[in-house]
Each structure stands twice: as C-alpha cells, then as structure tokens.
Amino acid sequence: MWISFYKLRLFCCLLAVLTVVVLVINVTQVEYLDRETVSATFIDSSGQFVSSQVIGTSWNPYCGYEHQTLSSQERAEEDSLLTALQRQIPDVGPVPFVKSSDPSSSYFVILNSADFFKVGSQLEVLVHVQDFQRQPKKYGGDYLQARIHSPKLQAGAVGRVVDYQNGFYKVFFTLLWPGKVTVSVSLVHPSEGIRVLQHLQEEKPDRVYFKSLFRSGRISETTECNVCLPRLLPLCNFTDLYTGEPWFCFKPKKLPCSSRINHFKGGYQKGLLTAAESAFFQSGVNIKMPINSSGPDWVTVVPRRIKESNNLDLSQGSGTFPSGHYYRDQWKPRNFKIRQFNDPDNVTECLQRKVVYLFGDSTIRQWFEYLTTFVPDLVEFNLGSPKKVGPFLAVDQKHNILLKYRCHGPPIRFTTVFSSELHYVANELNGIVGGKNTVVAIAVWSHFSTFPLEVYIRRLRNIRRAVVQLLDRSPKTVVVIRTANVQELGPEASLFSSDWYNFQLDTVLRKMFSGIGVYLVDAWEMTLAHYLPHKLHPDEVIVKNQLDMFLSFVCPLET
C-alpha cells in the first residue's frame, strides 16, 4: 500500500512540474508575440498605435503621409502649395497618339521682333503646339522648357513659360548680355503624357520599392519597405519618433523588427503603362524634343549706353526671374555678387576654422567630392563607409577645416545603407550648436519624385522647423539650400524621375524656404541654362559654378 502511495505522490509531483513548464512557455510566447505586435503597428490619425491585425487585411496600401495631424496653419500652407501646382489639363478622355502633341509639327515665333534689342530688354516668344496630323491643339498642359543662349560666348539663361490652355504658350526672356542671342524651346512631355505622370504620382507611389535585411544569428530575411505598403501582412513600423516621418517594412516571418540590418533600393516596377500610354513616352519623338521656329530664331542685342546702364537695375531682389545667367561659362547671379574660387588656396582661406555639414542626396555629395578633389589639404578620412553612400568625413588639420557629408533618411535609392546610418536631416540639424564658423548645406529632392507631394511637403516642413530653430539659437550660422536640377530622360526614367516631377518639388522647395534667412543655390537654372547635356549629376563646370555660389555665401565680398 505504501508503495502505491509513493507512486501516486511521484506522479502528482511530475504533473505539477510539467504544468509549470507549460505555463512558463505560454507566458513567454505571449510576451514575445506582444513585443512583435507593438513593433508591427501603425500610427493612426489620432496618434494612437494600431495593430495591423486590427486595421484588417486589404490590398489598399497604408500610407503614412495620409495619417498626419496638421495645425491649421500647416494645413493652409499645404493646400496653398498643392493648389498652386495644379495643372489645368482638361479631361478630354482617351487621346490617340496621332492627336497628341508633336514637337516636330509645332513651332514658335518671336513676337516683338526688331532690328536690335538692348541689354535688359524683354523678349517674347509665342509657341503654337500641333498634333501629329498637323492640327492645332485646342488645350494646354504640355511641359515646355526654354532658354536663350550664345554658344560663342558660352552664355545662357532660362525663360518663363505661360500656358494659355488653348495650345498656345508664351515664353518671356530677359536679354542679359550683348551679341547674337538664339532662342531654343523644347517639349519635355506632351500634355497626354503629363496626365499619365499625374496618375502614377497619385496611384502608384510604390513604383520604386525598397528592401531591408533582417538578421539574427544564422537566420536572415529580406522584406519590402516603403512609405506605402499593402495592409495584407503585418508591418514593422519604423516611423521616426522625433519627426514623425513614416517608414514601414513587411514584418519578417521568423525575426523581430529590431533585427533590421540595412536599407537598400529594391528596384523599379515594370509594366506600369498600357501600349497606348507608352506611345506618349518615346525617345526621339516626344521626350525633350526641340520645337523649331517658323522664322528667325535669334536676335541681336547691343550694350546700353553708360547713362542707360547706370539707370538699369538687373538685380531686382530675391524673386527675380531668371535668377542669373552664364557668360564665358561663369554663372552671374542677378541679386548677388559672386566670387570666383579658381584656386584651392581661395577655398581654404574661405573655409578656414569652419565646420561644413552637407546633408542630402547624391547631388550634394558631388560638392563633397569636388572639394576633396580640388583642395589638396582637405584629406578624406576613411570611415569604412560604403562607396557613394557615406557618411564621409574630410579634414584639413593645418587650417582647421572639417567637412562632413551624410545622406538623408528614407526614401533613398542608394545601394546599401546601414540601419544605424539612416538619419533624418531634421534630427541632425537639432544636434548642431551652430555659430559663425558653422556652415550647413542641404539638398533633398531627387528621391521624392515618385511620391505624392504631401510626402515631400512633410519632409521639408520638418527640415524647415529645424533650420529655423538652428538660426534662432545661432543666427550667424550659414544655411544654404541647393535646389533640384534637370536631368536626362528616356521612356523609363520619365516615369520615375521626370523633370516635370522635379519641377514640382523645386517649386515647393523655393516657396517653403522663402523668407527664413537661408541662401539658395539655383541648380535648376544653372543646369537648364547651360549648353551641356542634362544630367542628374551635372558635369564639373556646372558643379564648380554651384560651389562658387555656395562659397560666396559663406565668404561674401566685402562691401
């Protein structure tokens, strides 16, 4: 009997131990799942964290920029910016290719023709757009670019285009140098192509997709990331805690969200257009094609007499258009006295005892590369960073110069950026003390071309707030903004990086940073006015002029 009793007691003890083990395992799993649920959350419009499972599964994307709380002033500014950029393209329904804008059939004429013009005079050009059947277009919406130039003088300036919404356009030029001046007008995209680009901007913000590698021990997974993702699967929420900038990745199946290692460009979606839509994006047919003149395409400009020149004001303030022109391959701004930094010693003298921060995309990384190549004493310090990604650091110990470059936070289409290096510009600015020996330059635009404008406006709003705070605490800090620039376009590049997209970004940038005490390097006009082919990364002569402008803001001529 005693043996049976001890057996029963032993059985009960084993059962109790087993129960405790099972309970501990269950509690651990619940805690683990709870941590994952917190990681895989959204922020709703009220600022609360909401599980993706609560929201429900849907192929409709969740877009972080749609779930932001704006003040009345911020909402009014955003509405004003979006309204100003709305293009009046009539909804005429499907348009066959032969009825679309044909640059080879279109033409321009110089309206106020004369035997000669004087420097400072206005030149007006009328553009008449026709279709491939040589019939006049009855509506507007085409995207045109125009410039005047004198090849022998290596001179050039851009023109202002006005759309009359009836197939006619006017281009206004200011004649800024004497000599034979030629007019050039190009059709970048027909209005029918612009309608397609608008649709992609609004409905396909994920047409460039990104990825991140998650790793823990020997287990690794790669998932897709973006500002907008389908709500079909749980998401890792990497929204920045300080700026509220949204960013999401699909949650790995086996790993926690905290195991993210890096960020990189996944690729570009294919098959975005129908055959009919593709016809509006053909190289050599209707992408950046010249429009010829129906008469003379040039005028003669003569210098003004000394008395007239004294009374002529060609520097009419910060709102002047154009902002400048090229002459002998040198940029001549109309509202600022630029210096020429043709010798490395000039650059060294300007930057001596200064810390220079360069934040943004690869177009401002060009500034870092130019300076470290041009100035021998400015030696790059090897941080072991990925090539063309950064961060980068250069030092001139003799003259106490520190030059830094860091890319902006996502979205960014670089090859591989470590997660620990994904810093937002606004947060970096908040960590800068500032002062008379501190210089900041920012270029943020190229990687936002595929998204609705609200995404870009939000990013600039955060950067602007940080810039204003920096200038409030350190008014002598020099802050320079580099604008967007034109680039080469083909059928595929047009869908992701069209000049039309970047023109919108450039317009928003100028408006949002107007009147807050920052300087502007007008890369848009400096690339469009130049005779060299358009490139995302302009040739050295253009970059040199950009740096001359930048350094002139840092070390202006004494007056």
pLDDT, position 37: 35
- The residue type found at 148 is I
pLDDT, position 308: 55
Q: Tell me the three-class secondary structure of 527-549, residue by residue.
A: HHCCCCCCCCCCCHHHHHHHHHH
What domains does the chain contain, in order, with CATH numbers? 97-190+286-304 (2.60.40.10), 208-268 (no CATH), 329-554 (3.40.50.1110)
Q: Environment class of residue 476 by beta-carbon count within 10 Å: exposed (0-12), middle (13-18) or buried (19+)?
A: exposed
Query: What would the pLDDT profile of 386-398 be if each residue is shown by its tens digit?
Result: 888 989 999 999 9
pLDDT, position 49: 34
Tell whether the model's pLDDT for residue 490 goes beyond 60: yes
Q: Among 322, 375, 352, which Cα is nearest to 547's?
A: 375
- Non-local (6+) Cβ contacts of 517 within 8 A are 471, 475, 479
Threshold 0.95, pTM exceeds: no
Answer whether 523's CB lies under 8 Å from 487's CB: no
pLDDT, position 559: 57
Could you tell me which residues are beta bridge partners of residue 307?
A: none
pLDDT band for position 86 (cuts 50, 70, 90)? confident
Instruction: Report the first-to-last Cα separation within the chain, whole angstroms.
Output: 112
Mean pLDDT of 61-87: 85
pLDDT, position 25: 41
Query: What would the pLDDT profile of 117-168 be if each residue is shown by its tens digit?
Result: 999 999 999 999 999 999 999 999 999 999 999 999 999 999 999 999 999 9
